[in-house]
Structure 1
Amino acid sequence: MRDKAAVHRTFTGHHMLNVMAAFFAVVIGVNVMMATFASRSWSGLVVKDTYVASQEFNSKAAAMRAMAASGISGNLSLSHDVIHYDIHNRDGSPATVQDVTVRFRRPVGDREDFQLVLTKKSEGRFEVEHHVRSGDWIVEIISRKKDVTVMQEAVRIDIAEFGR
């Protein structure tokens, strides 16, 4: 009779099949999880029509160079659910602008994106009251005078909930 302590177990084909099945189950499970996260968090849309965007690139680049050469600059700030935007000339004097629009976009996804028109408080000073949720945002600011874009800029900001 065999002694139970002396029984030696061997690694069989069934063991190898179980190891391989477990390995591939983990790999497939992780891939499904990552694909689900990716499809829920990013629209994948950068531009609606890449051909049209490529045709407009040179004219947009020239307009941006002209805006940079004008010396007009802006400053975006947020405090206590009020969004402030100050725009001034190269010499520091307030720039003459009629309306300012801000577009808040999440870097990933478009479910929380929104656009606001700021109210003119004084020459070169605009603001609007709106609660902005915490996290990372890309803010595009467009300033116009008589339907002509005077300044267009985009800034990336991080809003911390505890600092409000």
Structure 2
Amino acid sequence: MSANTEKPFVFTGWHMLATICSFFGVIIAVNFTMAYYATHSWSGIVVENTYVASQQFNDTTARIRAILDSGVEGRMSVNKGLIVYDLDIPGKGPVIADKVTANFKRPVGTAQDFSIELQAEGPGHFVARHEMGSGHWIYEIIALRDGQMVMHEANRMAVLEEK
């Protein structure tokens, strides 16, 4: 008669060492992966100088509140490289501006960012031509009349080019 004796599993110090190394190895690998993507996908720059921006915050907010209270509305469209921006007050008509500048930025990365001045093609109707890639963009419009801001808005849009 032979007795088949199996040794029961015994959790040793080596098992604990392997468990701890595996646990922290996963954490370190995830952190390095996230750090790589963070440093290679976004510049991190929102404003050049955060202290100056914080000092100008109340003035900027007051100017934008005055624009919103005036009822001025803007509409942006992009189609096959043609950028069109219409500026008006509903029920009152178009808003005249001397200079309209559009800043286009990708939500991630700065390689395709550009600024362009739109030309007036009629009262409150401004156009420019610039090839843009498909995808999401953040645009900022600054419209001036006699040196005074009549519109300042920033919105996100999707450019869907048909192939």
TM superposition score category, shorter chain reference: 0.7 to 0.9
| TM-score scaled by length of structure 2 | 0.84
Distance 1:36 1:90 in 2: 48
CA-to-partner distance for each residue in 1:37-74, whole Å, 9 max, x for gaps?
A: 11222222232222222221222122112212222211
Structure 1 residue 75: Cα displacement: 0.7
User: Counterparts of 1:19-34 in structure 2 under 5 Å?
Assistant: 19-34=19-34
Of residues 42-51 and 5-14 in structure 1, the stretch that sits farther from structure 2 once superposed is: 5-14
* Matched residue, 1:78: 78
Aligned-partner residue type, residue 71 of structure 1: G
Aligned-partner residue type, residue 58 of structure 1: N
Structure 1 residue 121: Cα displacement: 1.5
Distance 2:59 2:29 in 1: 47
RMSD over aligned Cα, in angstroms? 2.3
**Corresponding position: 1:42 with 2:33:** no
User: Counterparts of 1:12-161 in structure 2 under 5 Å?
Assistant: 12-161=12-161
Aligned-partner residue type, residue 24 of structure 1: F
3-state SS of the aligned residue for 2:34?
helix
CA-to-partner distance for each residue in 1:112-135, whole Å, 9 max, x for gaps?
A: 221111122222111112122222
3-state SS of the aligned residue for 2:23?
helix
Provide runs of 4+ in structure 1 moved above 6 Å: none
CA-to-partner distance for each residue in 1:124-162, whole Å, 9 max, x for gaps?
A: 11111212222222110111123222111111112234x
Distance 1:55 1:18 in 2: 53
3-state SS of the aligned residue for 1:110?
coil
Structure 1 residue 92: Cα displacement: 4.5
Gaps of 5+ in 1: none
Identity across aligned pairs (percent)? 41
CA-to-partner distance for each residue in 1:67-123, whole Å, 9 max, x for gaps?
A: 122222111011122111011134252221122110012233333221111122222
Gaps of 5+ in 2: none
Distance 1:157 1:132 in 2: 12
Of residues 92-101 and 115-124 in structure 1, the stretch that sits farther from structure 2 once superposed is: 92-101
Q: Note closer, same or farther for the CA distance 1:6–1:81 as it changes in structure 2 (3 Å cut).
A: farther
